A and B are shown apart, each in its own frame.
Chain A
Amino acid sequence: MDSGDVLLDISGVSRSFGDVRALDDVSIQIRENEFFALLGPSGCGKTTLLRVIAGFEQPDSGTVTLDGVDLLPIPPEKRAVNLMFQSYALFPHMTVERNVGYGLACERLPRDEISSRVDEVLTTVGLTDKRNALPKTLSGGQRQRVALARAIVKRPRLLLLDEPLSALDRKIRGEMQMELKRLQHEVGITFVVVTHDQDEAMSLADRVAVMDRGVVRQLDTPLDLYRRPRSIFVADFIGNSTILRGRFDQGTWIGDSAPGLSVPDTCRDAIALALRPEALTIVPTDDPRARVRGEIVEVFFQGDHALAQLRADGTVYLAVLRDDVLPRRGDPRGLAWDESAPIPLFEE
Chain B
Amino acid sequence: MTSRTSAGVRRHGDGPLLRALASVPALTYLVILMAIPLALVIAYAFLTAGRFGGVQGPVTLDNITRMFQPLYLEILVSSVVNAGIATAFAFLIGFPAALVITRLSPTWQTAALVAVVLPFWTNFLIRTYAWIVLLNREGFLSDGLELVGLGPVEFLYTRQAIILGLTYAYIPLMVLPIYASLQRLDPQLLEAAQNLGAGPWRRFRTVLLPLTLPGIITGCLFVFIPSLGNFVIPELLGGGNSQMIGNLIRDQFLKSRDWPFGSALSLMVLALLVIIVMLQASASRRTRKWGA
Chain A interface size, as a band, is: 20 to 34
Interface status of A276 (Cβ within 8 A of chain B): no
What residue of chain A has the Cβ atom nearest to residue B190's Cβ? A89
For residue B42, give the distance in angstroms from its CB to the closest CB of chain A.
Answer: 39
Report if A106 contacts B (CB, 8 A): yes
Q: Are A92 and B195 in contact (CB under 8 A)?
A: no
* B197 is an interface residue with CB less than 8 A from chain A: yes
Contact B191 A89 (CB under 8 A): yes
CA distance A85 to B287 in the complex (A): 23
Instruction: Digitize A147-160: 1 where CB-to-B-CB distance is under 8 Å, 0 elsewhere.
Output: 00010001000000
* CB of A280, distance to nearest CB on chain B (Å): 46
Q: B202-228 toward A: CB 8 Å interface, digit per residue (1/0)? A: 100011001100000000000000000
Chain A residue at smallest Cβ distance from B193? A102
- In angstroms, Cα B189 to Cα A83, docked, is 12
List B contacts of A102 (CB < 8 A): 193, 196, 198, 206
The residue on A at minimum CB distance from B189 is A89
Chain B residues near A56 (CB-CB < 8 A)? 191, 194
- A150 lies within 8 A of B188 (CB): no
Among A55, A102, A154: residue with most chain B CB under 10 A? A102
Q: Does B62 contact A (CB under 8 A)?
A: no
- Distance in angstroms from A105 CB to nearest chain B CB is 8
Pick from B194, B198, B202, B287: contact of A93, CB below 8 A: B287
Instruction: Say whether B195 contacts A83, CB under 8 Å.
Output: yes
A85 adjacent to B188 (CB under 8 Å): yes
Let me know if B154 is at the binding interface, CB within 8 A: no
Collect the chain B residues with CB atoms within 8 Å of residue A85's CB: 188, 191-192
In the complex, chain B residues whose CB is within 8 Å of the CB of A140: none
Residues of B within 8 A of A116 (CB): none
Docked-complex contact B195 and A76, CB < 8 angstroms: yes
At the interface, yes or no: B121 with Cβ under 8 Å from chain A?
no
B207 touching A77 by the CB < 8 A rule?
no
Chain B min CB distance to A106 (Å): 4
- Assembled-state Cα–Cα distance A75/B200 (Å): 11
Q: Is the CB of B195 within 8 A of A106?
A: no
Contact A93 B292 (CB under 8 A): yes
Interface membership of A54, Cβ < 8 A: yes
Q: Which residues of B contact A107 (CB under 8 A)?
A: 197
Please tell me if the beta carbons of A91 and B195 are within 8 angstroms of each other in the complex. no
Report how far A157 CA is from B192 CA in the complex, Å.
17
Most buried by B among A78, A92, A107: A92
Q: Are B194 and A77 in contact (CB under 8 A)?
A: yes
**A61 CB–B CB distance under 8 Å:** no
Within 8 Å of chain A (Cβ to Cβ): is B289? yes
The distance in angstroms between the C-alpha atoms of A92 and B206, with both chains bound, is: 11
Which A126-159 residues have C-beta < 8 A from chain B?
134, 136, 150, 154
In the complex, which residues of chain A have a beta carbon less than 8 angstroms from the beta carbon of B206?
91, 102
Per the CB 8 Å criterion, the residue count for chain B at the interface is: 22
Judged by DSSP, the binding face of B is helix
Contact partner, B197, options A77, A89, A90, Cβ 8 Å: A77
Are A93 and B196 also in contact (CB < 8 A) when A85-B188, A102-B206, A136-B291 are? Answer: no
Interface assignment of B186: CB less than 8 Å from any CB of chain A:
yes
Taken together as a complex, chains A and B put the C-alpha atoms of A103 and B199 apart, in Å, by 11
Contact of B198 among A77, A82, A83, A150 (CB under 8 A): A77
Q: Among A76, A77, A92, A106, point to the contact of B292 (Cβ < 8 A).
A: A92
Write the nearest CB–CB distance from A58 to chain B, whole angstroms. Answer: 14
Mark out the residues of chain A between 310 and 343 whose CB falls within 8 Å of any chain B CB in the assembled complex. Answer: none
Q: How far is the CA of A321 from the CA of B240 in the complex (A)?
A: 99
A85-B192, A93-B211 known; A78-B197 Cβ under 8 A? yes
Q: Are A134 and B289 in contact (CB under 8 A)?
A: yes
Centre residue among B186, B195, B202 by max chain A CB count within 10 A: B195
Q: Is B291's CB under 8 angstroms from A77's CB? A: no
A 84-111 binary contact with B (CB < 8 Å = 1; else 0): 0101011111000000001100110000
A150 in contact with B196 given A87-B188, A93-B290, A136-B290 (CB within 8 Å): yes
Query: Once the chains bind, are B197 and A134 in contact (CB under 8 Å)?
Result: no
Please determine whether B186 and A106 come into contact, CB atoms closer than 8 angstroms: no
Q: Are B211 and A92 in contact (CB under 8 A)?
A: yes
A228 to B193: give the CA distance in the assembly, Å: 42
Q: Is A54 within 8 A of B195, CB to CB? A: yes
Given A77-B199, A78-B197, A106-B197, are A89 and B192 also a contact pair (CB < 8 Å)?
yes
> Which residues on A are within 8 Å of B, measured CB to CB?
54-56, 75-78, 81-83, 85, 87, 89-93, 102-103, 106-107, 134, 136, 150, 154
In the assembled complex, 13 residue pairs joining A and B whose CB atoms fall closer than 8 Å, in A order, are A76-B195, A77-B198, A82-B196, A87-B188, A89-B188, A91-B189, A102-B198, A102-B206, A103-B197, A106-B198, A106-B199, A134-B289, A136-B292
Complex A-B, nearest 4 residue pairs according to Cβ-Cβ distance, in ascending order? A103-B196, A136-B291, A106-B197, A89-B192
B: which residues have CB within 8 A of A? 186, 188-189, 191-199, 202, 206-207, 210-211, 287, 289-292
Given contacts A102-B198, A154-B196, 15 further A-B contacts (CB under 8 A): A77-B196, A81-B195, A83-B191, A83-B192, A83-B195, A85-B191, A89-B186, A89-B189, A89-B191, A92-B292, A93-B211, A93-B290, A102-B196, A134-B290, A136-B290
